[in-house]
Structures are given as structure tokens and as C-alpha cells.
């Protein structure tokens, strides 16, 4: 799970630009999508936005784990029973998710969907779950029990009760796909922002790079970083808002899929790079891995940069991360 901490700055004064910027907010994949298109006129931009919406809906009808007719739901219904043949698109998305699971040693796990939701962060939980309940909550979680057959394009969950879900990657994948589609259609600039998993291309009609504000995880009424983006994706995962405190210790809502316990150490991680899908996988994983292991992981992916904010408000940026403005966290 992730907390979205990103704001897009859209300036509507174009200084006589021949192009227009059109934006629309819609609900897709159970989340808010903000779609911004730059085109020669508003009517054309609106048609392109309609095309983006149709593409996101198509993707949701492939990978949703709560729509019963999707291929992912079919995989989950047949856990422990038989492999399920899926479209190559679904197979390759699952394959990439397993790659993320391997390189993070399970800090990211596509089978997290099977975890029992024993932690409550809505104010109703008055005591910690028992250690045995926490252990049982992740019994069905384990990416190593997912069997892929590339030749036959099948996915098999070995254990009855296992589930996979693309809640951590789906919006980013959709943002990537829509960006690629729009560029192929000759759309020179825009942003597709799926619940904070965003991808940008081109520039604002005034000639500037797109500007993304990252919210201060200590005080969500202020920003602490402004990131100029051009042909880049940006994703933030955070744990600062939903948490419980037991015996003086803070337990945040992001759960380690290997242990069943909430993570600690980082309150937010922002990743910038070519793909929103992969940036999401990295940001989610690093929240679990922590700062030291997260920095080590990013060294293997030089096209990606990060901003880490600790539980105590300390900010760490990776080498090459471009930030226009950073205000001290209070």
C-alpha cells in the first residue's frame, strides 16, 4: 500500500502558446486518475483523454483482482488447482512483478494480496495482534510459489488460498502504457497520473519542464521538494498518515510481506525514472528494505533516483536527483 504525496503544478497561462493544456480527473482502477494532454485545441485534447480512459479501463479488465471476470481473478480462483492461460500482456506483467520480488528478496511480493488484514489503522484496533496471528497472516504469501510457463503463457499459484494482485503496480503500468500510446499518436506532451503513479512526456506549453511537488510527510500542508520532470515517471510511497501506537512504538500501515509486521525507519520514498511501474515497485520495496538497503538497491538501476525521508524527518537524496527547491522538514 502507498500514500500519495505528489502534486502536479499546472499553469494555465500560456503566454500566447499555440497549444492548449486540457486536464480531467476521473475514477479508474478504484483510484483517482488525473489526465493532462497538450494538443492544438481543446476538442482534440478531450478526445485524447477519452482514449486514455478507455485504455486504463481495458487494462483494469485484464488485471483487476476484484472484478470476477478478469484473468487475474481466474488465476486466484484456481490457486492450488491448475495453471491458467493468460494474455501475453498479463503474463509479462506478472513476470516483471516476480523479477521485482526476486531482486528485493521478497520486500515486494505480488502475492501480498493473500495476506490476512489483521492490522487495522482506522482507529478500531486497541491492541497488537498476537505473534501467532501475525505469522498466520502471511502463510499464503510467497512469490516462490508462483509458477510461470512462458511457452504456454500460464500462471499457477501452488498453494490453495494464494492470491496475486497488481494494486502496487497496476496504476503505474497503466500510466506507462498510456504515455506510450499518446506518444505513438503524435501527442507531444502530457501527464498520466494514476493515484500518484505518474508518467510525463514533453513539456508544458510555456516551454518549461513539468513540475511535481512532493508533500512534506511530516506536514501535508506544505511541500518540501519540487521536481522538474521531462520524459520521466515519479512515484511516492509513504507511511506517515495511517499508523497505530502501542507501548510507545509507532506501527505504520505498510506491512512487510515476509514478516507480517509494519515497517519502520522511513516515512516516505520518492522514486523518479523512466517507468512508473518499476518506480512504484522500487518505492514500495524500499519502504520495507529501509534506507541503507534501499540505497544499495538503487545503485543497480542508475536511471532511477530517489528521495528518502526518515521517520524523524531526515531527508536523503541519491546522487543525480534534481530538486529545484527543498524546504527543511519541521
Evaluate the CA torsion angle 175, 181, 182, 183 in order and state its sign: positive
Residue with cell 470476477: 68
| Residue 97 is labelled as binding a ligand | no
Strands (E), the chain: 6-9, 20-28, 31-39, 84-85, 146-149, 154-157, 189-194, 197-201, 210-215, 223-229, 233-238, 243-246, 249-252, 266-273, 305-310, 315-317, 325-326
Beta bridge partners of 214: 6, 225
Helix (H, G, I), strand (E, B) or coil at 21: strand
Q: Consult the annotation and say whether 284 binds a ligand.
A: yes
Q: Which three cell numbers stand for residue 49?
A: 483523454
Give the 3-state secondary structure of residue 84: strand
Integer Cα distance of 83 and 233 in angstroms: 34
Which whole-number Å values give the CA distances from 225 to 236, 270, 317, 321, in the listed order?
12, 10, 11, 11
82 backbone dihedrals φ, ψ, rounded to 5°: -160, 160
Asked whether 194 and 233 are in contact (CB, 8 A), the reply is: no
Binding residues for Mg(2+): 168, 284
Binding residues: 168, 284
Amino acid at each position: 500500500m502507498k500514500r500519495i504525496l505528489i502534486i502536479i503544478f499546472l499553469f494555465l497561462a500560456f503566454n500566447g502558446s499555440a497549444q492548449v493544456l486540457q486536464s480531467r480527473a476521473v475514477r479508474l482502477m478504484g483510484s483517482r486518475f488525473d489526465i493532462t494532454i497538450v494538443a492544438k485545441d481543446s476538442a482534440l485534447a478531450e478526445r485524447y483523454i477519452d482514449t486514455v480512459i478507455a485504455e486504463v479501463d481495458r487494462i483494469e479488465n485484464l488485471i483487476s483482482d476484484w472484478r470476477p471476470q478478469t484473468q487475474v481473478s481466474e488465476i486466484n480462483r484456481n490457486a492450488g488447482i491448475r495453471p491458467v492461460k493468460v494474455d501475453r500482456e498479463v503474463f509479462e506483467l506478472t513476470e516483471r512483478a516476480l523479477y521485482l520480488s526476486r531482486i528485493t528478496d521478497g520486500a515486494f511480493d505480488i502475492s501480498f494480496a493473500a495476506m490476512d488484514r489483521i492490522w487495522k489503522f482506522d482507529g478500531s484496533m486497541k491492541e497488537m495482534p498476537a505473534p501467532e496471528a501475525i505469522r498466520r497472516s502471511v502463510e499464503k504469501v510467497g512469490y516462490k510459489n508462483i509458477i510461470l510457463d512462458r511457452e504456454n503463457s500460464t500462471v499457477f499459484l501452488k498453494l490453495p488460498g494464494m492470491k496475486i494482485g497488481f494494486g502496487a503496480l497496476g496504476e503505474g503500468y497503466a500510466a506507462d502504457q498510456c504515455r506510450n500510446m499518446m506518444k505513438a499518436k503524435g501527442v507531444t506532451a502530457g501527464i498520466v497520473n494514476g493515484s500518484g503513479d505518474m508518467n510525463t512526456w514533453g513539456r508544458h506549453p510555456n516551454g518549461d519542464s513539468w513540475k511535481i511537488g512532493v508533500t512534506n510527510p511530516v506536514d501535508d500542508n506544505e511541500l518540501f521538494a519540487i521536481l522538474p520532470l521531462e520524459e520521466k515517471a515519479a512515484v511516492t510511497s509513504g507511511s506517515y498518515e495511517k499508523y497505530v501506537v502501542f507501548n510507545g512504538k509507532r506501527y505504520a500501515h505498510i506491512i512487510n510481506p515476509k514478516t507480517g509486521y509494519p515497517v519502520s525507519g522511513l516515512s516516505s520514498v520518492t522514486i523518479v525514472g523512466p517507468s512508473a511501474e518499476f518506480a512504484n515497485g522500487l518505492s514500495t520495496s524500499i519502504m520495507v528494505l529501509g534506507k541503507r538497503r534501499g540505497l544499495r538497491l538503487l545503485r543497480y538501476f542508475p536511471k532511477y533516483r530517489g528521495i528518502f525521508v526518515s521517520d524523524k524527518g531526515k531527508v536523503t537524496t541519491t546522487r543525480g536527483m534534481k530538486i529545484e527547491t527543498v524546504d527543511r522538514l519541521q
